[in-house]
Amino acid sequence: MARVLMCKANISEGRRKEVLEEVAAAVRAVPDVTLADWSGDPDHNRAVYTLLGPPEAVLEGAKALTSVALERIDMATHAGEHPRMGAVDVVPFIPLREVETEEAVEIARSFGAWLGEQGVPVYYYEDAATRPERESLPKIRKGQYEALAEKLEQPEWEPDEGPAEFNPKSGATVTGARFPLVAFNVNLVTDALDVAQTIARAVRHINGGYRYVRGMGFALEDKGMVQVSMNLTNYTKTPIHRVLETVRSEAARYGVAVAGTELIGSVPLGALEDVVRFYLQTHEFSTDQVVETALLD
C-alpha cells in the first residue's frame, strides 16, 4: 500500500492567475506528487495547494512550489484580508497513510532547513514546534508581515531556520506537521442553544471532555435547530463514532434527538475505518480491503 503524506501550502497570492498557474505547473512537474487541489481567493489574496504523495516526493513538490512563489511574490506590495507573514506563508505537512507524525515532522524540518538556506526566516509550529509558545500559528503570526522586522530583533522570536533578518520580499514562513483534522458537526432537534453549548463543554478537551476534541455550540437559525460544531484533532485517538455517541447520549438527557451530522471538507479514509468497525461490529475490517486503495500503489 502506498504511503501518503499531504502538504497544504498557503501562499500570499490569489489574484494573478498566471502566477497561480505557474506554481501549479511547478508542482505537477515533480514525479510521484499529485496536485490534488488548488484554489486562489482574490479577496484574501491567498491560495492553497494540496499535494499528495510519498513523503520525499511531497518534500520535493513543496520545494518546487516555494521556489516559484518566492520568485514571483513580493510581500512589500501585498495586501489582502487574510492574516499572513510571508510569500510562502504556512506549509503544514499532514500524515495520511502509513506515515507517522514523527516522519512528517522530519519532512517539515528538512523543508524548513532548505528554506532557511534561501534566506527566509522560518518558524516551526504544531508538532514541529521547538518550544511550546510556537505551537500555535496565530501566536507566531501575530502582528503579521508588518510587525516582522521588529519581531526579528527580539531574542524570543529568533527564527528556527534562516537569518534573523527582515527579508522584505519574502517575509517569513511557518512550517510544521500536524495530524489531519476532521471537522464534524452534530445537529440537534431543538432550538435551545444552551443544550448545544452544554454538550460542547461535555465533549471538548478544555472542559474535561475528550482529549482531541475542540468544539462550540451554535444556533442554526434557518433550521430552528442548534449545532455542536467540533474539530477532532486526532481521529485515531478520539474517533468520530465515540464523540457522536457521547453527544447523542448527552442530548438524550434533555429529550433531544440527533437530526443529522456533517463531515465538512476532506476526510481521511483512516477516519472512516473506525466508523465502519464500530457500527458494523466488523472487528477485523481494514481500509486495505477497500478496492480503490489498490490504485494508490
- Number of other residues whose CB lies within 10 A of the CB of residue 133: 11
CA distance between the termini of the chain:
5
Q: By C-beta, is 130 or 231 nearer to its own copies?
A: 231
**Centroid of chain to Cα 211:** 18
Give the residue among 257, 262, 250, 251 at the shortest CA–CA distance from 189.
Answer: 257
Q: By C-beta, is 135 or 245 nearer to its own copies?
A: 245
Q: Name residues contacting its own copies, limited to 98-127 (CB under 8 A).
A: none
Examine residue 37 and tell whether it contacts its own copies (CB under 8 A).
yes
Minimum separation from the CB atom of position 287 to its own copies (A)? 9
Give the C-alpha separation, 90 to 9, whole Å. 6
Q: Name residues contacting its own copies, limited to 40-99 (CB under 8 A).
A: 50, 52, 96-97
Out of 112, 180, 215, 239, name the contact with its own copies by CB under 8 A: 180
Q: By C-beta, is 45 or 229 nearer to its own copies?
A: 229
Minimum separation from the CB atom of position 213 to its own copies (A)? 16
Per DSSP, the three-state class of 8 is strand
Query: Which run of H or E residues covers position 209?
Result: none
Minimum separation from the CB atom of position 49 to its own copies (A)? 12
The crossing angle, in degrees rounded to 10, of helices 55-72 and 101-117 is 30
Per DSSP, the three-state class of 41 is strand
Pairing mode of beta strands 258-264, 182-188 = antiparallel
Examine residue 189 and tell whether it contacts its own copies (CB under 8 A).
no
Give the C-alpha separation, 212 to 248, whole Å. 18
Examine residue 24 and tell whether it contacts its own copies (CB under 8 A).
no
Burial category of 134 from C-beta neighbours within 10 Å (exposed 0-12, middle 13-18, buried 19 and up): buried
Torsion of CA 173, 177, 262, 294, to 10 degrees: 120
Examine residue 228 and tell whether it contacts its own copies (CB under 8 A).
no
Q: By C-beta, is 180 or 209 nearer to its own copies?
A: 180
Q: Name residues contacting its own copies, limited to 243-282 (CB under 8 A).
A: 244, 258-263, 265-269, 272, 275-276, 278-282
Q: By C-beta, is 135 or 263 nearer to its own copies?
A: 263
Give the C-alpha separation, 286 to 297, whole Å. 16
Q: By C-beta, is 192 or 258 nearer to its own copies?
A: 258
Which of 78, 82, 241, 283 is an active site residue?
Answer: 82
Query: Which run of H or E residues covers position 243?
Result: helix 240-252
Minimum separation from the CB atom of position 277 to its own copies (A)? 10
Is residue 82 among the annotated active site residues? yes
Examine residue 36 and tell whether it contacts its own copies (CB under 8 A).
yes
Minimum separation from the CB atom of position 35 to its own copies (A)? 9
Residues that bind its own copies (CB under 8 A): 2, 4, 6, 34, 36-37, 50, 52, 96-97, 180, 240-241, 244, 258-263, 265-269, 272, 275-276, 278-285, 289-297
So which residues are the catalytic ones? Answer: 82
